[in-house]
Amino acid sequence: MGRPVADEYRLRLEGRAELLESARLRYRALLEALGAKGWEERLRKSGALLKETLGAQVKVDEALASALRRAQAEVWPSSSPTVQLLRDVEALRERLGQTVAQRLARSPKESLRELLRGLEEQALTAPREIPFDQRWATALELLPEELPLLRELSSFGRLLATLFARPFDPEERLPFRVDEVAALRRQWSSGEVALGQAWSRLSGVDRTGGLVAELRKRAERAPLHPPRNGPEHLLHAEHWRSVARKRLELLVRVRLSPVEPTPSECVKVAWWLCAREFTPEARLPALEVASEARAGLIELAHELRLLMRPESSEDPLRLEDEDWERLRERARRADLTNLGADAERVRDVLRTFIWKRGMGNAGMRGWRELPSGLEALVEQAWQVDR
């Protein structure tokens, strides 16, 4: 019997030898890049190498494990080039895992595939100076379509554009359906988080700030077409988030006058105002603002604006008993704490109402405000309205 042909064991790999040889070449190239001083930049410039290695890693792991089991079971000779290939790939794979883990300060016990994912992210997001002519290309690399947060940005931007492209007047009924308000409220927090993460990802890489500054400038302009890639999804969502926030803040400031809401209160109070459009008895939870008393003062200011409107009417309509009872309850809630300048401005609204309603009323001669809270002032207003 003659000697077996040189590639007998290679044939037994059933076509997987080429896969393992390619893996051996990639592993060596990656190890060489990782040993260089500027390894992150070198990996970025050869980004296809990492992508190919990641894309093939599952098949390589399966092929290597299967081939090693067969070589052991069939006692393939160590002198065989095919066995040497298996040993090379196994040793290089182990060495690559340890080297990547060391570069990332992670455990070498993690799978090589996960370590390579981390390596790709580290190389891509390492801080660096970005030349002017590379800004957009860098943004495309940092915000690829497959990035998970892009799905949230895309959904958030579409919703905002749909709702806030409509005519908007804070004095009129809001142009939203109840289900649209629910969707807006549900997506607002996660959408803002996704926007923050996207900007943070860019600013972490952009050492000089030029890329982020340019993109923020672009986001001030209304998009001319639907977003087609990651950076455009960011610009689209950021533009419409800015429009939405400004309109919601205007809504709150107009409908709560003379109370002046803080920036942190505006959006949360806006959800309550939207809910009140569909459910007039909706209450403002204290947890949405600073305190129970603050919630009461905001509710009282809104009720006064709806019922009295002293700034727009020389002769306010007379209120029903249930209106006055609602005002008393809101004022009682607001009186839980001394609320400073905002509370004083609400008192001025009530004083104006009392003065206008009491003109020519004999019972108002010599009237002066009682030294007490908002509830007492509402009670005085009710007395002159009777």
pLDDT (tens digit per residue) in 56-88: 999 999 999 999 999 999 999 988 999 999 999
How many whole angstroms separate alpha carbon 239 and alpha carbon 220?
A: 6
pLDDT of residue 11: 87
- Apex CA 293: angle with CA 289 and CA 299, to 5°? 75
Give the tokens for residue 383. 């007395």
Q: What are 128's strand-pairing partners?
A: 206
How many whole angstroms separate alpha carbon 310 and alpha carbon 295?
A: 22
pLDDT of residue 168: 95
How many whole angstroms separate alpha carbon 36 and alpha carbon 82?
A: 30
φ, ψ of residue 206 to 5 degrees: the values are -80, 85
Q: Is the dihedral of CA 311, 314, 319, 325 positive or negative?
A: positive
Residue with the two structure tokens 């190890």: 31
Residue type (1 letter), 229: N
pLDDT of residue 372: 66
Helix-then-strand count for the chain, H and E = 16, 0
DSSP one-letter code for 383: H
Q: Are 254 and 301 in contact (CB under 8 A)?
A: no
DSSP one-letter code for 2: P
Q: Are 9 and 71 in contact (CB under 8 A)?
A: yes
How many whole angstroms separate alpha carbon 144 and alpha carbon 157?
A: 17
pLDDT of residue 384: 82
Q: Which among 98, 92, 121 is positioned nearest to 22, based on CA atoms? A: 92
How many whole angstroms separate alpha carbon 13 and alpha carbon 18?
A: 9
Give the tokens for residue 278. 């569909």
Residue type (1 letter), 175: P
Q: Is the pTM of this model over 0.75?
A: yes
- Apex CA 125: angle with CA 121 and CA 131, to 5°? 140
Regions of the chain where pLDDT drops below 50: 1-4, 310-312
How many whole angstroms separate alpha carbon 266 and alpha carbon 289?
A: 9
φ, ψ of residue 128 to 5 degrees: the values are -165, 165
